[in-house]
Amino acid sequence: MGIPCGRHGLPLSVDEENEMYIYGDMTQEELDREYSPSSCVPQFSAHLTRYATDSDRAREILDHRLDVRYGPGAAELLDFYPPRRPQAPLFVFVHGGHWQEMNKEASAFAAPDLVEQGAGFIAVGYGLAPDHGIGSMVTSIRRALGWIASHAAELGTRRDLLFAGGSSAGAHLVAMALCAAAEEPWDVSGTVLLSGVYDLEPVRLSYVNDKVRMDGSAAAANSPIHHLPLATAKVIVARGAAETAEYARQHVDFVNALAHRGLRPVDLTVAGRDHFDLPFDLGRRGTALGDAVLTQMGL
Protein backbone atom coordinates (compact mmCIF):
# COMPACT_ATOMS: atom_id res chain seq x y z
CA MET A 1 0.00 0.00 0.00
CA GLY A 2 1.50 3.30 -1.08
CA ILE A 3 1.96 6.32 1.14
CA PRO A 4 -0.46 9.05 0.02
CA CYS A 5 1.08 12.37 -0.76
CA GLY A 6 -0.46 15.54 0.58
CA ARG A 7 -0.19 17.84 3.54
CA HIS A 8 1.11 15.24 6.03
CA GLY A 9 4.81 15.85 6.56
CA LEU A 10 4.75 19.10 4.60
CA PRO A 11 5.70 22.44 6.19
CA LEU A 12 2.90 24.88 6.92
CA SER A 13 2.45 27.46 4.21
CA VAL A 14 1.63 30.28 6.65
CA ASP A 15 2.94 31.40 10.01
CA GLU A 16 1.59 29.09 12.73
CA GLU A 17 0.61 32.02 14.95
CA ASN A 18 -1.65 33.51 12.25
CA GLU A 19 -3.01 30.44 10.48
CA MET A 20 -6.73 29.79 10.21
CA TYR A 21 -7.95 26.22 10.05
CA ILE A 22 -10.67 25.71 7.44
CA TYR A 23 -11.37 21.99 7.82
CA GLY A 24 -9.90 19.83 10.57
CA ASP A 25 -6.35 21.05 11.02
CA MET A 26 -5.98 22.29 7.43
CA THR A 27 -5.52 25.85 6.31
CA GLN A 28 -7.22 27.04 3.12
CA GLU A 29 -4.06 26.50 1.11
CA GLU A 30 -3.62 23.00 2.46
CA LEU A 31 -7.26 22.07 1.89
CA ASP A 32 -7.11 23.38 -1.66
CA ARG A 33 -3.99 21.31 -2.31
CA GLU A 34 -5.60 18.19 -0.85
CA TYR A 35 -8.51 18.48 -3.29
CA SER A 36 -6.22 19.11 -6.25
CA PRO A 37 -5.21 15.60 -7.38
CA SER A 38 -2.68 17.05 -9.80
CA SER A 39 -0.58 18.13 -6.80
CA CYS A 40 0.59 14.51 -6.68
CA VAL A 41 0.98 14.03 -10.44
CA PRO A 42 3.25 16.50 -12.23
CA GLN A 43 2.57 14.81 -15.59
CA PHE A 44 -1.21 14.82 -15.19
CA SER A 45 -1.79 16.78 -18.42
CA ALA A 46 -0.28 13.90 -20.40
CA HIS A 47 -2.90 11.59 -18.92
CA LEU A 48 -5.68 14.00 -19.93
CA THR A 49 -4.30 14.06 -23.47
CA ARG A 50 -4.22 10.28 -23.50
CA TYR A 51 -7.89 10.12 -22.43
CA ALA A 52 -8.74 11.98 -25.63
CA THR A 53 -6.36 10.18 -27.99
CA ASP A 54 -7.25 6.71 -26.70
CA SER A 55 -10.94 7.59 -26.98
CA ASP A 56 -10.43 8.74 -30.56
CA ARG A 57 -8.74 5.42 -31.24
CA ALA A 58 -11.68 3.55 -29.72
CA ARG A 59 -14.01 5.22 -32.19
CA GLU A 60 -11.70 4.26 -35.05
CA ILE A 61 -11.60 0.55 -34.21
CA LEU A 62 -14.96 -0.17 -32.56
CA ASP A 63 -18.55 -0.08 -33.69
CA HIS A 64 -20.32 2.78 -31.95
CA ARG A 65 -23.45 4.90 -31.69
CA LEU A 66 -22.75 8.46 -30.62
CA ASP A 67 -24.94 11.06 -28.94
CA VAL A 68 -27.76 8.73 -27.99
CA ARG A 69 -30.27 10.80 -26.02
CA TYR A 70 -31.24 9.48 -22.59
CA GLY A 71 -32.89 12.61 -21.18
CA PRO A 72 -34.19 16.07 -22.09
CA GLY A 73 -31.14 18.08 -21.02
CA ALA A 74 -28.78 19.34 -23.70
CA ALA A 75 -25.88 17.28 -22.28
CA GLU A 76 -27.95 14.17 -21.46
CA LEU A 77 -26.39 12.07 -24.20
CA LEU A 78 -24.38 8.87 -24.18
CA ASP A 79 -21.96 7.10 -26.50
CA PHE A 80 -22.49 3.35 -26.93
CA TYR A 81 -19.87 0.77 -27.92
CA PRO A 82 -21.80 -2.48 -28.41
CA PRO A 83 -20.63 -5.90 -27.26
CA ARG A 84 -19.62 -8.49 -29.82
CA ARG A 85 -22.04 -11.13 -28.54
CA PRO A 86 -25.65 -10.94 -27.34
CA GLN A 87 -26.62 -10.73 -23.69
CA ALA A 88 -23.16 -9.53 -22.68
CA PRO A 89 -22.35 -7.45 -19.60
CA LEU A 90 -22.46 -3.70 -20.15
CA PHE A 91 -20.15 -1.26 -18.35
CA VAL A 92 -21.44 2.31 -17.94
CA PHE A 93 -18.71 4.89 -17.27
CA VAL A 94 -19.16 8.36 -15.79
CA HIS A 95 -16.22 10.73 -16.22
CA GLY A 96 -14.64 12.95 -13.61
CA GLY A 97 -13.27 16.48 -13.80
CA HIS A 98 -14.27 18.17 -10.51
CA TRP A 99 -17.90 18.29 -11.72
CA GLN A 100 -16.86 21.11 -14.09
CA GLU A 101 -14.56 19.67 -16.76
CA MET A 102 -14.12 16.71 -19.12
CA ASN A 103 -16.75 15.09 -21.36
CA LYS A 104 -17.98 11.76 -22.67
CA GLU A 105 -16.00 12.15 -25.90
CA ALA A 106 -12.75 11.75 -23.95
CA SER A 107 -14.14 8.93 -21.80
CA ALA A 108 -14.06 5.92 -24.15
CA PHE A 109 -10.43 5.02 -23.50
CA ALA A 110 -11.38 1.80 -21.64
CA ALA A 111 -13.86 0.68 -24.31
CA PRO A 112 -11.42 -1.40 -26.43
CA ASP A 113 -10.21 -3.46 -23.48
CA LEU A 114 -13.72 -4.09 -22.16
CA VAL A 115 -15.15 -4.94 -25.59
CA GLU A 116 -12.23 -7.29 -26.22
CA GLN A 117 -12.99 -9.06 -22.94
CA GLY A 118 -16.64 -9.57 -23.90
CA ALA A 119 -18.52 -6.54 -22.58
CA GLY A 120 -20.24 -3.51 -24.04
CA PHE A 121 -19.34 0.02 -22.99
CA ILE A 122 -21.19 3.30 -22.52
CA ALA A 123 -19.72 6.74 -21.79
CA VAL A 124 -22.28 9.05 -20.20
CA GLY A 125 -22.44 12.82 -20.65
CA TYR A 126 -24.03 15.19 -18.14
CA GLY A 127 -24.32 18.93 -17.54
CA LEU A 128 -21.40 20.53 -15.70
CA ALA A 129 -20.90 23.32 -13.20
CA PRO A 130 -21.41 26.22 -12.99
CA ASP A 131 -24.47 25.84 -15.22
CA HIS A 132 -25.64 22.71 -13.40
CA GLY A 133 -25.67 21.92 -9.70
CA ILE A 134 -24.60 18.71 -7.99
CA GLY A 135 -28.20 17.58 -7.49
CA SER A 136 -28.92 18.03 -11.18
CA MET A 137 -25.88 15.94 -12.09
CA VAL A 138 -26.98 13.12 -9.78
CA THR A 139 -30.42 13.23 -11.38
CA SER A 140 -28.84 12.94 -14.83
CA ILE A 141 -26.83 9.87 -13.87
CA ARG A 142 -29.89 8.24 -12.32
CA ARG A 143 -31.82 9.04 -15.50
CA ALA A 144 -29.05 7.55 -17.66
CA LEU A 145 -28.98 4.33 -15.65
CA GLY A 146 -32.74 4.06 -15.80
CA TRP A 147 -32.77 4.64 -19.56
CA ILE A 148 -30.05 2.05 -20.10
CA ALA A 149 -31.91 -0.50 -17.98
CA SER A 150 -35.14 0.04 -19.91
CA HIS A 151 -33.28 -0.35 -23.23
CA ALA A 152 -31.08 -3.26 -22.15
CA ALA A 153 -32.24 -5.68 -24.84
CA GLU A 154 -31.58 -3.31 -27.72
CA LEU A 155 -28.16 -2.54 -26.22
CA GLY A 156 -27.24 -6.22 -26.39
CA THR A 157 -27.43 -6.91 -22.68
CA ARG A 158 -29.89 -7.74 -19.87
CA ARG A 159 -31.07 -5.68 -16.92
CA ASP A 160 -29.17 -7.99 -14.57
CA LEU A 161 -25.90 -7.48 -16.46
CA LEU A 162 -25.53 -3.73 -15.98
CA PHE A 163 -22.41 -2.43 -14.23
CA ALA A 164 -21.70 1.23 -13.53
CA GLY A 165 -18.56 3.03 -12.51
CA GLY A 166 -16.80 6.34 -12.55
CA SER A 167 -13.60 8.12 -11.70
CA SER A 168 -13.18 11.03 -9.27
CA ALA A 169 -16.31 13.20 -9.60
CA GLY A 170 -17.78 10.39 -11.69
CA ALA A 171 -17.30 7.94 -8.82
CA HIS A 172 -19.13 10.35 -6.53
CA LEU A 173 -22.02 10.73 -8.98
CA VAL A 174 -22.41 6.98 -9.52
CA ALA A 175 -22.30 6.31 -5.78
CA MET A 176 -24.82 9.03 -5.07
CA ALA A 177 -27.10 7.90 -7.89
CA LEU A 178 -27.12 4.40 -6.46
CA CYS A 179 -27.86 5.73 -2.97
CA ALA A 180 -30.78 7.74 -4.26
CA ALA A 181 -31.98 4.87 -6.45
CA ALA A 182 -32.62 2.35 -3.68
CA GLU A 183 -36.38 2.48 -4.28
CA GLU A 184 -36.22 2.55 -8.08
CA PRO A 185 -37.51 -0.44 -10.09
CA TRP A 186 -34.15 -1.01 -11.77
CA ASP A 187 -30.88 -2.20 -10.35
CA VAL A 188 -27.16 -2.24 -11.09
CA SER A 189 -25.37 -5.54 -10.63
CA GLY A 190 -22.08 -3.98 -9.57
CA THR A 191 -20.24 -0.69 -9.31
CA VAL A 192 -16.62 0.42 -9.61
CA LEU A 193 -15.68 3.63 -7.79
CA LEU A 194 -12.26 5.08 -8.59
CA SER A 195 -10.60 7.84 -6.57
CA GLY A 196 -13.91 9.19 -5.39
CA VAL A 197 -15.07 11.83 -2.92
CA TYR A 198 -17.93 10.58 -0.77
CA ASP A 199 -18.27 13.44 1.75
CA LEU A 200 -18.66 16.80 0.00
CA GLU A 201 -18.31 19.08 3.02
CA PRO A 202 -14.52 19.58 2.66
CA VAL A 203 -15.00 20.00 -1.11
CA ARG A 204 -17.52 22.76 -0.38
CA LEU A 205 -14.86 24.59 1.62
CA SER A 206 -12.17 24.23 -1.06
CA TYR A 207 -11.45 26.12 -4.27
CA VAL A 208 -13.39 23.46 -6.20
CA ASN A 209 -16.60 25.07 -4.97
CA ASP A 210 -15.85 28.34 -6.76
CA LYS A 211 -17.67 26.84 -9.76
CA VAL A 212 -19.65 24.01 -8.19
CA ARG A 213 -21.34 26.46 -5.79
CA MET A 214 -22.65 24.07 -3.14
CA ASP A 215 -24.05 25.30 0.13
CA GLY A 216 -23.98 23.17 3.25
CA SER A 217 -27.38 21.66 2.58
CA ALA A 218 -26.46 20.60 -0.96
CA ALA A 219 -23.18 19.10 0.24
CA ALA A 220 -24.94 17.04 2.90
CA ALA A 221 -27.78 15.99 0.60
CA ASN A 222 -25.34 14.77 -2.05
CA SER A 223 -22.71 13.04 0.08
CA PRO A 224 -23.02 9.28 -0.48
CA ILE A 225 -21.47 8.43 2.86
CA HIS A 226 -24.56 9.90 4.56
CA HIS A 227 -27.09 8.08 2.37
CA LEU A 228 -26.11 4.42 2.37
CA PRO A 229 -26.78 1.65 1.52
CA LEU A 230 -26.01 1.42 -2.19
CA ALA A 231 -28.48 -0.29 -4.49
CA THR A 232 -25.97 -3.01 -5.36
CA ALA A 233 -24.13 -5.68 -3.41
CA LYS A 234 -20.98 -5.80 -5.56
CA VAL A 235 -18.76 -2.79 -4.99
CA ILE A 236 -15.14 -2.09 -5.92
CA VAL A 237 -13.62 0.97 -4.21
CA ALA A 238 -10.21 1.72 -5.68
CA ARG A 239 -7.61 4.47 -5.72
CA GLY A 240 -4.07 4.91 -6.89
CA ALA A 241 -1.31 4.78 -4.30
CA ALA A 242 -0.22 8.29 -5.35
CA GLU A 243 -3.24 10.26 -4.13
CA THR A 244 -3.49 13.12 -1.67
CA ALA A 245 -4.08 12.31 2.00
CA GLU A 246 -7.66 13.56 1.77
CA TYR A 247 -8.51 11.33 -1.18
CA ALA A 248 -6.96 8.43 0.74
CA ARG A 249 -9.03 9.29 3.84
CA GLN A 250 -12.24 9.56 1.83
CA HIS A 251 -11.54 6.13 0.33
CA VAL A 252 -10.95 4.52 3.73
CA ASP A 253 -13.97 6.19 5.32
CA PHE A 254 -16.26 5.04 2.53
CA VAL A 255 -14.99 1.46 2.60
CA ASN A 256 -15.55 1.40 6.36
CA ALA A 257 -19.04 2.87 6.00
CA LEU A 258 -19.98 0.21 3.44
CA ALA A 259 -18.63 -2.52 5.71
CA HIS A 260 -20.65 -1.11 8.60
CA ARG A 261 -23.73 -1.55 6.40
CA GLY A 262 -22.90 -5.22 5.90
CA LEU A 263 -21.30 -4.97 2.46
CA ARG A 264 -17.93 -6.46 1.63
CA PRO A 265 -16.43 -4.07 -0.90
CA VAL A 266 -13.31 -4.96 -2.83
CA ASP A 267 -10.84 -2.44 -1.40
CA LEU A 268 -7.97 -1.64 -3.77
CA THR A 269 -5.04 0.70 -3.36
CA VAL A 270 -3.07 0.18 -6.56
CA ALA A 271 0.70 0.56 -6.44
CA GLY A 272 2.23 2.48 -9.31
CA ARG A 273 -1.05 4.21 -10.18
CA ASP A 274 -2.33 7.70 -9.45
CA HIS A 275 -5.60 9.61 -9.66
CA PHE A 276 -5.35 10.04 -13.43
CA ASP A 277 -3.85 6.84 -14.82
CA LEU A 278 -5.78 4.30 -12.72
CA PRO A 279 -8.84 4.38 -15.05
CA PHE A 280 -6.75 3.08 -17.95
CA ASP A 281 -6.71 -0.31 -16.18
CA LEU A 282 -10.52 -0.65 -16.04
CA GLY A 283 -10.72 -3.54 -18.50
CA ARG A 284 -7.09 -4.54 -18.70
CA ARG A 285 -6.57 -8.15 -17.70
CA GLY A 286 -3.46 -8.74 -15.63
CA THR A 287 -3.80 -5.51 -13.65
CA ALA A 288 -5.16 -5.34 -10.10
CA LEU A 289 -8.10 -3.15 -11.10
CA GLY A 290 -8.81 -4.83 -14.43
CA ASP A 291 -8.88 -8.31 -12.92
CA ALA A 292 -11.24 -7.13 -10.16
CA VAL A 293 -13.57 -5.46 -12.66
CA LEU A 294 -13.65 -8.45 -15.03
CA THR A 295 -14.30 -10.80 -12.11
CA GLN A 296 -17.18 -8.61 -10.93
CA MET A 297 -18.66 -8.73 -14.43
CA GLY A 298 -18.28 -12.50 -14.71
CA LEU A 299 -15.66 -12.23 -17.44
Q: What's the pLDDT score for residue 182?
A: 58
Q: What is the residue-wise DSSP string for 30-96?
A: HHHHHT-GGGG-TTHHHHHHHHHHHHHHHHHHS--EEEEE-SSSTT-EEEEE--SSTT--EEEEE--
Superfamily of domain 82-296: Alpha/Beta hydrolase fold, catalytic domain (3.40.50.1820)
Q: What's the pLDDT score for residue 15?
A: 40
Q: What's the pLDDT score for residue 187?
A: 76
For the chain, the domains span 82-296
How far is the C-alpha of 45 from the C-alpha of 126, rounded, in Å? 22
List the chain pLDDT tens, one digit each, 299 residues: 344 554 443 333 344 444 688 999 999 999 999 999 999 988 889 999 999 999 999 999 999 999 999 999 999 999 999 999 999 999 999 999 999 999 999 999 999 999 999 999 999 999 999 999 999 999 999 999 999 999 999 999 999 999 999 999 999 999 999 996 656 656 799 999 999 999 999 999 999 999 999 999 999 999 999 999 999 989 999 999 999 999 999 999 999 999 999 999 999 999 999 999 999 999 999 999 999 999 999 99
Q: What's the pLDDT score for residue 186?
A: 64
pTM: 0.93
